[in-house]
Structure 1
């Protein structure tokens, strides 16, 4: 289920980006004490008290800015688009400056949206007592409950987040899996149904041409102008008896390049398609593959745990330039090592060469993505790993891996019980992951969770057995 989106809006320099970073739990937005730093919308997946949502930071919202500098008009439009897409909106105001006419005008616009609205009175860190908090006048906005916060010092942010998530009825994620809660093994029926395949990539890498070749018809507009596709479009495809839902998305470019209002809208739609998909085919341009935008997009797909096919498109042009697939694979392995597990296919949407292989590969990955693995085979593998390459000593003490069980699929998730989970370093985790990939032929994301083995409590002396 897609995460609900919470939009942060307000006039410039009220601290939206600081609040965004606080909710996201990491520094993602550029924060400077000057108006207008945030130009484009910035998105992040977030978790608060076990509940998952997305948050979007917007540029300064000035209702009368549209008639002035064109950039201001674009920033305003992006903020409006964020409000349209959001499940809830937080109006951020400056408690030090008090209520302004711009705040009131923004509130009037937000009221028309019909979305759940909240007011965050920011920069109240100087107030020492509840009576000193400058919030009374902000009730005049008529947007409901008003929350005094200091995003800089995390004051009041928890109360705001709690209220928003309760209003949206966001459920808490299930607790971390325990090894005892393992899945039925591979004999049980695996989930069936169409495979949701999202086609993503930077603008102008040939996504729509590629999908046209995949469908065998002129289903989409095809153009050499970046940004032709403005929204995500689904098409049903049957290939070798397997049903697919193929989604063509707008080009995702780096944040600083998002300028046109239609493209700003498209980025969010494309990101949501990744959330809703099971397999993602990420198209790279054979003429300039592995650039920064490619790396960011592939990293996002991997972080969300989706099965991935790396598609080097326009390969007919690459071959004309004398490139070989072996050279290309080596180059991309150097530039994109964090998705080295993903299969790579070379295609030409213009000629149709290699396009059908993407569906073949997606079907193969889906079997792995939904697979359930025998517990005995996994534990035999775990024992061999420790015999051939024991975990390094930590302060003279050995790390022991006792037991492994699969607790989830899509992506495959395994819990490894051990004596010192905090001492299993990143290098050894990667080694164990690679051994699991080799043993089970996995080309999809997998998650290994290290947990301390729960020891059974001993009965008190003299206690009788039941």
Structure 2
């Protein structure tokens, strides 16, 4: 139908996945839309399915009906090229009963073949259909004209808008939501976990693997802190990802990891630390995100203590680059362990933003050099003179030294591990850059020349001769 294409056009970004095959969208995706001077929230839905049972299509329909009940205005899209189908008549009856306001849009009106479909749309009995081309942006002026009077009745204008006293007193403004991406293999329970955090069935879940297709973001207050949580598609091994749609889903999940601040890698307790789990965790570390490892379906485990010891041993052995990162056991089904998960996320975010004073760093560096001096490759001793923190998110440090190209990787790891332990930065990615101090002599490499006054004197002497 082109619902996701129109959604992307209204929000001005390619947020929703778009593909030629029908039924790509499964979850509700919200976005801040802009049309001329109108500002509103638009929701992309999975479309109305005819199934009403507990099948995947039935659950998708229930989620869409929930969005219809929430919305102030429903834009009902029909395919102008295909014309009005029997299912469209059924869905028009549902919208007539449940929706507050309905606007009919005949999409894909390019070309003469769509004219008959536009005329068919009049028969739905929901008013004059708008001629729209979501792909080419046609009909947006007509959509604006249709929305404007309805929105004006929904948002009365106050003569004196209320003033937020607290916002005026706080010069920093409100704290931005903490960005969290939940990633993992298919059927690890990512959507179920987020639904439990939200306290409602906001995301589509079920026993089928790979239900989530694109990265859906939801905003929630979790433990008194506002957070924006991204539910991502399950990531399988690259060799198994053949379909174009699944490739789009995985790339959308990778994009969510790049925009997140904290990445929760969700494992299945029955089969933890599979090869793909390790790749996902390593990806988050390479992107410089704070990482929390959560082991789901913990309620199904019998010998919990032995299993926990086994998990910790495997974590330290298989993911040494994330040594010290939080490992939390949870049950997305029952909600047990969510308080520990929230505490681990906040702690990881705080460490990710940590800054160390330069004086403390150089004092620490002196002690590290005395305990274990750097090697002297080829008999040339490496002198480390100065250290400072260049950035946070993740913490990045710069060491000024002689012969930076001779510093071995093992010595850099020695310094990074020391930073983790001595400044309490477990698990977070740490970036260490070794740089040459530079030569302070401005005359180095300059050709030797005779001073001008001496040249004149020598010239005069030759003339006297």
**What's the TM-score, normalizing by structure 2?**
0.56
Residues 369 and 246 (structure 1 numbering): CA distance in 2 closer, same or farther, change over 3 Å?
same
Partner of residue 326 from structure 1, selected from 309, 312, 321:
309
Instruction: Provide the C-alpha distance between the structure 1 equivalents of 2:369 and 2:302, rounded to a whole number of angstroms.
Output: 45
Partner of residue 449 from structure 1, selected from 393, 413, 433:
433
Give the CA deviation at 1:411: 0.8
Alignment of structure 1 residues 273-352 onto 2, 5 Å = 273-319=256-302, 323-352=306-335
Give the gaps of 5 or more residues in structure 2: 1-13, 15-134, 137-171, 452-465
Alignment of structure 1 residues 145-294 onto 2, 5 Å = 192-294=175-277
Instruction: Provide the C-alpha distance between the structure 2 equivalents of 1:327 and 1:230, rounded to a whole number of angstroms.
Output: 32
Q: Is the 8 A contact 1:227 1:263 kept in 2?
A: no
Instruction: Provide the C-alpha distance between the structure 1 equivalents of 2:173 and 2:257, rounded to a whole number of angstroms.
Output: 22
Instruction: Provide the C-alpha distance between the structure 1 equivalents of 2:291 and 2:174, rounded to a whole number of angstroms.
Output: 19
Q: Is the 8 A contact 1:289 1:332 kept in 2?
A: no
| Cα deviation digits, residues 73-128 of structure 1 (max 9, x gap) | xxxxxxxxxxxxxxxxxxxxxxxxxxxxxxxxxxxxxxxx99xxxxxxxxxxxxxx
Give the CA deviation at 1:327: 2.1
| Cα deviation digits, residues 353-412 of structure 1 (max 9, x gap) | 112322222212222222222110111111110011111221222222111111111111
Partner of residue 366 from structure 1, selected from 324, 335, 349:
349
Give the CA deviation at 1:347: 0.9
Q: What is the Cα-based RMSD across aligned positions, in Å?
A: 2.6
Q: Is the 8 A contact 2:223 2:342 kept in 1?
A: no
Give the CA deviation at 1:310: 0.8
Q: Is the 8 A contact 2:197 2:222 kept in 1?
A: no
Instruction: Provide the C-alpha distance between the structure 2 equivalents of 1:374 and 1:456, rounded to a whole number of angstroms.
Output: 26
Alignment of structure 1 residues 383-402 onto 2, 5 Å = 383-402=366-385
| Cα deviation digits, residues 163-212 of structure 1 (max 9, x gap) | xxxxxxxxxxxxxxxxxxxxxxxxxx999521100000010111111111
Give the CA deviation at 1:458: 4.5
Instruction: Provide the C-alpha distance between the structure 1 equivalents of 2:404 and 2:176, rounded to a whole number of angstroms.
Output: 37
Q: Is the 8 A contact 1:302 1:339 kept in 2?
A: yes
| Other structure's SS at 2:239 match | helix
Aligned partner of 1:412 in structure 2 is: 395
Aligned partner of 1:437 in structure 2 is: 420
| Other structure's SS at 2:334 match | coil
| Cα deviation digits, residues 220-274 of structure 1 (max 9, x gap) | 1111211001111111122333211011111011111213443222101101100
Give the CA deviation at 1:321: 7.4
Aligned residues: 279
Give the gaps of 5 or more residues in structure 1: 5-112, 115-188
Instruction: Provide the C-alpha distance between the structure 2 equivalents of 1:368 and 1:456, rounded to a whole number of angstroms.
Output: 36
Q: Is the 8 A contact 1:201 1:207 kept in 2?
A: yes
Higher helix share: 2
Instruction: Provide the C-alpha distance between the structure 2 equivalents of 1:455 and 1:230, rounded to a whole number of angstroms.
Output: 55
Residues 396 and 389 (structure 1 numbering): CA distance in 2 closer, same or farther, change over 3 Å?
same
Instruction: Provide the C-alpha distance between the structure 2 equivalents of 1:446 and 1:367, rounded to a whole number of angstroms.
Output: 14
| Other structure's SS at 2:379 match | coil
Residues 214 and 360 (structure 1 numbering): CA distance in 2 closer, same or farther, change over 3 Å?
same
